[in-house]
Amino acid sequence: MSASNGQIEHVSKKQKYAVCIACIGLLQSGSTSNVITQISEAMLSGDHDADAFTLALALPVCLSLRVHRIWTLLKQAYPQIPEKGRTDHIATMKDVWKNLVGPPLGKMVDKTFIQGQYIEFIMNISASYAGDMEDCKIMDQLCESTFALRRKQHKKYAGGVYSKQSVDAAIKRLTDEEFLKVCPNPPCIPTEAITFTGLKWQRDSIYMAGRYNKYSRELPQTPWFVEGERKMGSSVQELLCEILNKSVKAEDYRFSSSGREDVDVRCLGNGRPFVIEFINPCKTRFSRKEITEFQKEVNLSSEMIQLRDLQIVDKKDVKNLKEGEEEKTKAYCALCIARSGYDPSLLNQLSGVKELVIQQKTPVRVLHRRPLLTRPRIIHEMWASSIDNFFFKLHLTTQAGTYIKEFVHGDLGRTTPNVRSILGLDVDIIALDVERVALDWPPKCSE
């Protein structure tokens, strides 16, 4: 076996000991000593900062069948043998294996092995046996109707005709007498032992939250693809996550934010709240000083974004982000143009508007990814200031989820009322900035 990137690959070796017909070598010393070395190498290569770990083991399907065959023969020969332990023999076998492997493994990796309780760091080990499916073919005779049907519906059972669940369930339905009619002899002696074909660590996600400012009008929030072709060179998500993940060393990450701005919209003021879930991380423990250094690294990496209030948060706190996405208010500044010119006094019609309810059909520009609905939205307040006889600035505070561009130009009448209809002018929007996202989360950090 060789370990690489959390995986174990089997390398065939000539068997040096007789293989047990019950555990298929799982509990034999030659097997356990080999796998301890391989798991320790994989754990050390990940450079995990967990103090403790536990083990999870997936076994070949036929192991249940083999042990059950031995039990039925023992009960036939020695009826006085107590039933206790018969129903949970596989769980017991797993526990024995874990207690054989766990303590010496813990010494090799300098971590505490803990069995029987939840631990944030789990090593998942998959064991396989070359004769697994061949052993299971006896189930066709034991439960012909069940497995004949599963074979006919093979497309439905992508995991195989003989799954652990189906074999275990079938065994439970059989009496010992029925079982012995088909299986009067012990299982055959394995030609080779169980091998450990896969190993993968599993750790709880870590969540980092903060606020970002976006200063570029050519930067999408997330990677932008159209018909498989990438648009724009990077994104807010990538500029943040890729730098942070160099330290976290996670398998993957998920980026979420309180709303989103268009690629050509800047996000100013105190920034937009976001959270990143780092999935299956190697590192989860960081000091306040280290987090501050991560933030500085992001801010020095690009002039297009800036990061503030970066911190680690609990999973339960992430709900604050989603609640704010639809419930909080947003403040904007729009640069607008009246193409035929305008009388600056007309802007007074906008400045007096309070709690204006508008009806917005899904904008034409997002119909390809959002359902066609009419959504009521509230313009809580707005005021306008003249620049010259063609240009003016419009300041708005709105309900989250309001489409500002469409409120300005009307979107072919799909947003009503709109700035164009209120002023009676051919008005369009030139540029838009988010000035404030009124969500007091995550808490402000004192650097």
Residues taking part in catalysis: 262
Name the β-bridge partners of 56. 124
The set of residues, in sequence order, having a beta carbon less than 8 Å from that of 18 and lying 6+ positions away, is 189
What b/e sequence results for 241-268 when a residue is b if at least 16 CB atoms lie within 10 Å of its CB, and e otherwise? bebbbebbbbbebebbbbbbbbbebbbb
- Cα separation of 220 and 420, whole Å? 28
Q: For residue 350, what are its two tokens?
A: 């906008």
With the CA atoms of 146, 150, 152 and 156 taken in that order, what torsion angle do they form, in degrees rounded to the nearest 10?
150
Amino acid at site 72: T
Q: Which of 286, 342, 335, 354 is nearest to 435 (CA)?
A: 335
Q: Which two tokens stand for residue 368?
A: 């390809």
Token pair 């989860």 is found at 284
Closest by CA to 316, choosing from 441, 445, 444, is 441
The rounded distance, in Å, linking the Cα atoms of 28 and 35 is 11
CB 96 within 8 A of CB 27: yes
H-type helices in 110-235, by residue range? 132-136, 139-142, 144-152, 164-173, 176-182
Spatial neighbors of 190 by CB under 8 A, at least 6 apart, are 19, 20, 21, 24, 25, 129, 131
CA 7 – CA 445 distance, rounded (Å): 40
CA dihedral 314, 315, 316, 317 (to 10 degrees): 60
Contacts of 132 (CB under 8 A, 6+ apart): 60, 61, 62
CA distance 265 to 268: 10
Sequence-distant (6+) residues with CB within 8 A of 73 are 180, 185, 186
